[in-house]
Amino acid sequence: MKEKSQILGNHAETMSEEQLVKFSSTVSPSTTKSYEEMGKELKDRIVKLLGRSLAIREVDAGSCNGCEIEIAALTNSIYDVERFGIHFVSSPRHADLLLVTGPASRNMEAALRRTYDATPGPKIVIAVGACALDGGIFGDTYATTAGIDKVVPVDVYIPGCPPRPELLVQGLLLAVNRLKR
Partner 1 sequence: MLSISDIALGTVQVLVLMALSPLLTGIMRKTKARTQKRVGAGILQPYYDIEKLLRKDEVVSDQASWIFRVSPWVNFVAIVTAAFFIPVFLANSPFGLIGDLLLVVGLFSLARFFTMLAGLDVSSTFGGLGSSREMMISALLEPAVFLAIFVVAITYGGTSLSTIVESASNSAVLPHPQLIFAAIAMFVVMLGETGRLPFGNHETHLELTMVHEAMALEYSGKSLALMEWSQSIKQILLFALIANIFVPWGMASSASPYSIGIGMATFVIKVAALAVGVAFLESSVAKWRLFRLPDLVAIAIASSMIGLAFYYL
Question: Smallest distance from the beta carbon of 111 to partner 1, in angstroms?
Answer: 14
Give the separation between CA 21 and CA 171, rounded to whole angstroms. Answer: 16
Interface pattern 90-129 for partner 1 (x via CB under 8 A): xx-xx-x--------------------xxxxxx-------
Size of the site for partner 1 (CB under 8 A): 25
Instruction: Provide the minimum distance between the beta carbon of 117 and partner 1 in the complex, in angstroms, as a whole number.
Output: 8
Burial of 33 by CB count in 10 Å (0-12 exposed, 13-18 middle, 19+ buried)? middle
By the rule CB under 8 A, 36 interacts with partner 1: no
Which positions from 66 through 95 interact with partner 1, judged by CB under 8 A? Answer: 76-77, 80, 82-83, 85, 87-91, 93-94
List of residues contacting partner 1 (CB under 8 A): 50-53, 55, 76-77, 80, 82-83, 85, 87-91, 93-94, 96, 117-122
